[in-house]
């Protein structure tokens, strides 16, 4: 991969990652609930799913899934159901009184948070179709493919980790300003609405 091609892909990665979506909502929700360092495990789960999606495209299965109405529909509705589940869980989250600075944030298990991020990303069939449409534009079929896909995956993951760190950190800072259970409840319900909105948007997607 030439430097010029990589720079073009690098710029595209920032546009893709900064675009608001279910991953950004999940990252902000995790930062809000668990703080930056604990909540960032969610972002790692997002990246695992991203690598899986790139691998699927690399081995040629992406084209099959993209043209399969049944596969697209099953993945889509699983994603819708999971986002709605996250919305309900966020709505029902119990606030804690942070008026006392010694109050401790809830502790989320790293593997559970990783699994949550993984499921958010892997259950979005549009992401797979999008990757399938974008990646070939930066692949030189006359050169070995594996090194190119490794560069692409590394670039996408690094950029997305930086962006999701921003989303997670921003929400983590917001949590410090929430001093009462009422304020936290309002924020939890805002994120619940965002999850359900993301689910509604995903439900409207159709296979190209």
Each residue's pLDDT tens digit, 53-71: 888 888 876 666 666 777 7
Q: Is 35 left (phi over 0), alpha (psi -120 to 50) or beta?
A: left
pLDDT tens profile 65-100: 666 777 777 777 877 887 788 778 778 776 654 444
Could you tell me which residue, 31 or 186, shows the higher pLDDT? 31
- H-only helix segments in 59-144: 61-67, 69-91, 110-122, 125-134
What is the full DSSP assignment across 135-187? GGGG--TTS-HHHHHHHHHHHHHHHHHHHHHHHHHHHHHHHHH--SHHHHHHH
Q: Tell me, what's the pLDDT at 29? A: 85
Neighbour count for residue 184 (Cβ, 10 Å): 20
Residues 6+ positions from 22 with CB-CB distance below 8 Å: 79, 83, 120, 121, 124, 195, 198, 202
Could you tell me which residue, 21 or 102, shows the higher pLDDT? 21
Q: Which of 129-138, 158-167, 193-202 has the highest mean pLDDT?
A: 158-167
User: φ and ψ at 55, to 5 degrees?
Assistant: -65, -40
Please, are residues 10 and 152 in contact by the beta-carbon 8 Å criterion?
A: no
Residue 107 has pLDDT above 60, yes or no: no
Residue 101 has pLDDT above 70, yes or no: no
Q: Tell me, what's the pLDDT at 37? A: 87
Q: Tell me, what's the pLDDT at 104? A: 47
Q: What is the percentage of the chain residues whose pLDDT exceeds 90?
A: 15
């Amino acid at each position: 991969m030439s430097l010029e091609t990589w720079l073009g892909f690098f710029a595209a990665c920032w546009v893709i990652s900064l675009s608001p979506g279910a991953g950004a909502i999940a990252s902000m929700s995790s930062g809000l609930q668990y703080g930056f360092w604990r909540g960032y495990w969610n972002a790692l789960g997002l990246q695992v799913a991203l690598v899986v999606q790139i691998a699927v495209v690399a081995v040629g299965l992406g084209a099959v899934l993209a043209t399969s109405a049944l596969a697209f529909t099953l993945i889509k509705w699983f994603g819708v159901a999971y986002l709605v589940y996250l919305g309900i869980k966020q709505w029902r989250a119990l606030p804690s009184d942070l008026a006392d600075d010694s109050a401790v944030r809830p502790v989320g298990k790293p593997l559970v948070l990783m699994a949550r991020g993984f499921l958010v990303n892997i259950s979005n069939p549009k992401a797979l179709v999008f990757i399938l449409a974008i990646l070939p534009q930066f692949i030189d079929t006359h050169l070995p493919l594996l090194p190119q896909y490794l560069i692409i995956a590394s670039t996408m993951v690094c950029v997305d980790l930086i962006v999701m760190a921003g989303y997670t950190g921003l929400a983590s800072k917001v949590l410090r300003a929430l001093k009462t259970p009422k304020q936290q409840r309002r924020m939890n319900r805002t994120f619940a609405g965002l999850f359900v909105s993301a689910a509604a948007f995903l439900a409207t997607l159709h296979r190209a």
